[in-house]
Amino acid sequence: MSKLILLRHGQSLWNLENRFTGEMDIDLTDQGEQEAASAGILLKDFCINVAFTSVLKRAIHTLEIVLKEIEGAVPVVRSSALNERNYGDLQGLNKSDVTKIYGIAKVLLWRRSFRTRPPGGESLKDTFERVVPFYQKEILPLLKQGKTILIVAHGNSLRALTMYLENLSEPEVSMLNIATGIPRVYDFSVDMHLTGTVYL
């Protein structure tokens, strides 16, 4: 039986500062490092065969801390397909300041809807259309071999993948929040039916 573990990176500096981060390459806070270490401790009993991450340092750093905790020599694959969604003109801006300018309804639409793009950026649908094909091509074949796979990525790239894995509707995914540093484990049968999910 194969397992897929999804992990959002630990708290980043711009998470702490309430900024739109997107594809900006921002590192972890001290708390983010602690969250990554705690996730690693929770994953000690899993025999992880391959780990995937984005090319952004907050995800890479999180994975490095996790692998140090589990003390395993795990092959790592980095891909920009797993990057956070691009927030375009909003990247680097404080979310509260943006809300004052555009109003909460518009900002919520940009942040939570499936199809609406922020100015100059990606929608969750755009993110879905790069994350899911990468999963199908690079990760699903490993799961079919019975492997245990860890993906360390970002709030929106993991929302997109979760939508696919759990067959969520657009309204359902708009309500989905993925916390930093909390592993979610998916169990699959030999014929790749989802048999269970759990947060550690």
Active site residues: 9, 84
Beta-bridge mates of residue 19: 94
CA proximity to 66, closest of 5, 123, 21, 22: 5
